[in-house]
Structure 1
Amino acid sequence: MKNKRQRQQALEGYAFILPGVIYILVILGYPLVYNVILSLKNTNVKNFAKGTSAFIGMQNYSNLFKDPTFLLVFKNTFIFTIACLIVQFSLGFLFAILFSKDFRIAGPIRGLVLVGYMMPMSVTAMLGKNMFGVSEGVINDLLLKIGLVSSPVEWLVSSKTALGAVIAVNCWVGIPFNMLLLTAGLTNISQDILDSASVDGARPFQRFWYITLPLMKSSILAVLMLGFIYTFKAFDLMFIMTSGGPLNSTDVLGTYAYNLSFTKYEFSQGSAAALVLFVCLFVVGLFYLKLITREDD
């Protein structure tokens, strides 16, 4: 009787998760499998309609890693991701510590900081494009008024400054995200522990280094991993602000795969680039799960 009840409960559980499994298989599983198959063919605009594309194995991947443009894009993606992570995490942590203190205008300031995170990325990209504009940009206007530059800087037109401008705009979005998650981690630390350390003579830096950081290890790890995933797959920000230019200086894996597939109509080559992006994020996800499992153990 007991085994029958357990089997019935198991069947009920499977019935509840079945819609979610079907949704994942249809919405995520099928496109992923199709993308893998497409990346192993030579499908392009010439043979797509005819259905005459041939299986060429790993040739698309070999072509990618021999292409200097792809190597530049690959480097841009990691530079963009790491630079954003450093700035977002550092300033996000500082804001989290600041707003964990109880002072009168903490609420209004916190609300202003969160504006960037609440706005759609497309709107943020348009604002960034206007702010870093050459003739009517707010940044150039401010720099000219305070005398730091003698002529407008071509932020989004020069290959030397375009990536830095995109990084700055992305950090404006990512800092509030980091602040929210790290603030949640700070609130889980008991004030009694910090007060006890203070009574024992620990200085503020010592309390932060030896108590706060170790107790926030899991929160910090989650913020860094999520930040890496969200930043590494960035697309809309570059696509709207610079379209990957100038001279591919702001091209990342997301925009590069899009341009191959929907601008040059090299569908298999674009699928291969997209799968490289997926594999990178998949490896990072596995690494994160391994660290979380070790932390739980």
Structure 2
Amino acid sequence: MTHTTQLPDRRSARVRKGTAGAAPPPAPARTRRRPTSQQWAAWGFLAPVTLYLVLFYAYPLYRNIDLSLRHYTVRSFVQGDAPFTGLENYLTVFDDPTFAPALLHTAVFTVVCLAFQYAIGLALAVFFNQHFRLSATLRALFLVPWLLPLIVSASTWAWMLNSDSGVVNAALRVVGVDPVNWLTSPSWSLTSVILANIWIGVPFNLVVLHSGLQSIPASLYEAAALDGANAWQRFWRITFPLLRPVSAITLLLGLVYTLKVFDIIWIMTKGGPVDSSTTFATWSYQLGFGNALPAFGPGAAVGNLLVVAALVFGLIYLKVQRKQHAS
């Protein structure tokens, strides 16, 4: 019996050896995928929003920054050959004697309006959350100041606070109080515009805070009542803590709105008398358009200060929100 041994094929061994040592074949080049119909549809929906933001937000902001960094006159504003001055307009604004009073009035106007608008709006939201008869009707009536054009609201308040023929002074005379020069006295002009702005801003706080109250489960109040908590304890332990996210966005939007309030102040007092009710918003308008020789650069610089203030508070809000989500 013979045994046959099968010799390895040298050719196949050489082929295997060469194949093992050789580099792998290059991967085929990736072909760029064309956008699908869904992607084109997404870009189509984003295009109007993007165009709107660019035309009405990005470009005006760019132009305002450019105005604040150049020395514009009426001629150069038309021809577009204003020289670059850097931060000179900002230094002019800081050195102006109106800067300190305008900054103080802006801070007082914003803080007082926000505090009273939020407090009154929250009280009314809690009141209307009881769902009594005519609750919806009365709540709708409270929206009237918010729905009216600002020029109508400001003109109405200017007529009501008129020193000679206003209904407020007429009511004061009935109760034996001397009339007050609400709009023409430096001591009362800022108070007058604050009262008008509070009246206009309360409905917004009422609507937003009332919607936030609707998301709080009624079972929490029932459990607290069974534990013996009174109305104040239920508000302080349940309502107020659970309304913090809604309150934060309400105060932020109110802050941005109040910082740029112009119509009410300009119609009622025009920032006077003697700049007693001048804020950054009215001062910016006076510098740019209220004089025979407009100062476009300083006016734009004052407007940019308002933008920076709103941006800072917006960033603070985002940071607080991130901390709350992280915890």
TM (normalized to structure 1)? 0.93
The answer on whether the counterparts of 1:45 and 1:266 sit within 8 Å (CA) in structure 2 is: no
Whether 1:217 aligns to 2:244 is yes
Matches of 2:78 and 2:198 in 1, distance apart?
42
Select 2:119's aligned residue among 66, 86, 90: 90
State the match for 2:18 in structure 1.
Answer: none
For 2:84, what is the secondary structure of its paired residue? Answer: coil
Matches of 1:294 and 1:117 in 2, distance apart?
33
Aligned runs of 1:174-189 on 2, under 5 Å? 174-189=201-216
State the match for 2:283 in structure 1.
Answer: 256
1:62-105 Cα shifts (integer Å, max 9, x gaps): 11112120221111111001000111111111111111112223
Whether 1:153 aligns to 2:171 is no
Aligned runs of 1:92-241 on 2, under 5 Å? 92-149=121-178, 152-241=179-268
For 1:160, what is the secondary structure of its paired residue? Answer: coil
Q: Which runs of 5+ in 2 are unaligned?
A: 1-31
Matches of 1:198 and 1:164 in 2, distance apart?
41
Matches of 1:48 and 1:16 in 2, distance apart?
36
Matches of 1:227 and 1:38 in 2, distance apart?
28
**Residue type matched to 1:78 in 2?**
A
Whether 1:15 aligns to 2:44 is yes
- Distance change in 2, residues 1:55/1:148 (3 Å): same
Residue 107 of structure 1, CA deviation:
3.1
1:138-187 Cα shifts (integer Å, max 9, x gaps): 100000111122xx211100110001011001111111111111111111
The answer on whether the counterparts of 1:96 and 1:180 sit within 8 Å (CA) in structure 2 is: yes
Residue 194 of structure 1, CA deviation:
0.9
For 1:226, what is the secondary structure of its paired residue? Answer: helix
Moved more, 106-115 or 131-140: 106-115
- Distance change in 2, residues 1:47/1:8 (3 Å): closer
For 1:68, what is the secondary structure of its paired residue? Answer: coil
Residue 257 of structure 1, CA deviation:
0.7
- Distance change in 2, residues 1:214/1:9 (3 Å): same
Residue 210 of structure 1, CA deviation:
1.3
Higher alpha-carbon Rg: 2
Residue 6 of structure 1, CA deviation:
8.0
Matches of 2:123 and 2:202 in 1, distance apart?
10
State the match for 2:86 in structure 1.
Answer: 57
**Residue type matched to 1:75 in 2?**
L
**Residue type matched to 1:59 in 2?**
E
The answer on whether the counterparts of 1:91 and 1:175 sit within 8 Å (CA) in structure 2 is: yes
Residue 29 of structure 1, CA deviation:
1.1
- Distance change in 2, residues 1:132/1:10 (3 Å): same
Matches of 1:206 and 1:99 in 2, distance apart?
19
Residue 296 of structure 1, CA deviation:
3.7
Residue 49 of structure 1, CA deviation:
4.2
- Aligned residue pair count: 293
| Identical pairs, percent | 37
